[in-house]
Structure 1
Amino acid sequence: MPRKPNYDRTDLINRSRDLFWQRGWAGTSLKDLEAVLQMKPGSFYAAFGSKDALFELAMEKYASDGLDRLKALVEEQGALKALQRFPMMAIDNDDAPAKACMLSKTLLELQAHKHPLAKQANQHLLRMESRFADLFAQAQSSGEIDAAHDSEVLARRYQSDLLGLRVSAEREDVDARAIATEIADSLVRL
């Protein structure tokens, strides 16, 4: 009878997500993962199969956590207020290993190499953009945003603003909080 693993898989995925988020795919070696996860090579391969497979799980966790935070914010404050609050939330997490988005970092790092993980990162970004479009459409239905705007165009621009904001938050010479406020304020004028 096979032994039951003596580790918490979710915790391992969370720890690997943080390492990948901070260092990127190429900057994270198997030795780094083994050290952070406190696993020997055989256990690592038995649990996850490969670095790419673990990265995929970590990226999925990152994306689903972002969608969950947005969903909770919408339930608490409504569509428009959630869209206004989300930029500040994206940069105010002091526990995050990096301010820049893990998905965009992955896309930029791996796209030139045509790595399959780049395509998956893009799929996660498209899912988030689609959720933003839904929220803009909800705000239009409630009369908070002019219905003359295309919700998909608004979502694409909003996501682009968020990605730029998160890169700016990595810089010490930029007031990212002021930019987040500008993004939020611009939504009122729609």
Structure 2
Amino acid sequence: MPRKPNFDRNELIDRARDLFWRRGWAGTSLKDLEAVLQMKPGSFYAAFGSKDALFELAMDKYAKDGAERLKELAQKYGPLKALQRFPEMAISNADAPAKACMLSKTLLELTAHNHPLADKANLHLLKMEGQFTELFQQAQSAGEIGRDHSPKSLARRYQSDLLGLRVSAERDGVDAKAIAQEIADGLTRI
């Protein structure tokens, strides 16, 4: 009978996510992962199979958590207020290992290497764009914003602004909170 692992798989994925988010795919070695996860190589491979497989699990968790946060905001505040609150929330998590988006960092890092994880990051970004599109559609239907622009166009612009905001938040001397407020305020002029 196989021995039951004595670790919490989800907690290990969270720790790996934070390491990958901070250092990127290439900047994280197997030794780094083994140290952070407190696992020996054999246990690591038995639990996750490979660095790529663990990275994909970590990226999936990151994307799922972000989508859930946006969904919770929308349920609590409605579509427009959720879109207005999301930029500030995206940069204000003091526990986050980085301000920049893990998905965009992955896309930029791995596209040049034709790595399949870049495609996976892009798919997650497209799903997030779809979630933004739905919220813009709902805001238009509720009369909270005008119908002059397609919800998909608005979502693409919004996501682009968010990604830029999150990169700016990494820079010294940039008032990212002011930029987040500008994004939020801009939504009332649509």
Could you state the TM-score of these two structures normalised by the residue count of structure 1? 0.99
Distance in 2 between the 1:168 and 1:5 partners?
A: 41
Distance in 2 between the 1:114 and 1:173 partners?
A: 34
Match of 1:66 in 2: 66
Distance in 2 between the 1:148 and 1:158 partners?
A: 15
Distance in 2 between the 1:100 and 1:137 partners?
A: 27
Distance in 2 between the 1:77 and 1:2 partners?
A: 48
Match of 1:49 in 2: 49
- Partner-residue secondary structure (3-state), 2:169: helix
Q: How many correspondences in the alignment?
A: 190
Distance in 2 between the 1:15 and 1:184 partners?
A: 31
Q: What is the identity, as a one-letter code, of the residue corresponding to 1:162?
A: L
- Partner-residue secondary structure (3-state), 1:123: helix
Q: What is the identity, as a one-letter code, of the residue corresponding to 2:70?
A: L
Per-residue deviation, residues 146-179 of structure 1 (Å, max 9, x unmatched)? 1121000000000000000000000011100000
Aligned Cα root-mean-square deviation (Å)? 0.4
- Partner-residue secondary structure (3-state), 2:60: helix
Per-residue deviation, residues 56-82 of structure 1 (Å, max 9, x unmatched)? 000000000000000110010000000
For structure 2, the residue ranges without an aligned partner over 5 or more in a row are none
Q: In the alignment, does 2:180 pair up with 1:184?
A: no
Match of 2:84 in 1: 84
For structure 1, the residue ranges without an aligned partner over 5 or more in a row are none
Match of 2:154 in 1: 154
Q: In the alignment, does 2:39 pair up with 1:39?
A: yes
Match of 1:108 in 2: 108
Match of 1:15 in 2: 15
Per-residue deviation, residues 12-38 of structure 1 (Å, max 9, x unmatched)? 000000000000000000000000000
Distance in 2 between the 1:48 and 1:114 partners?
A: 22
Q: What is the identity, as a one-letter code, of the residue corresponding to 2:85?
A: R
Question: Structure 1 vs Structure 2: percent identity of aligned residues?
Answer: 76
Distance in 1 between the 2:114 and 2:173 partners?
A: 33
Q: What is the identity, as a one-letter code, of the residue corresponding to 1:20?
A: F
- Partner-residue secondary structure (3-state), 1:7: coil
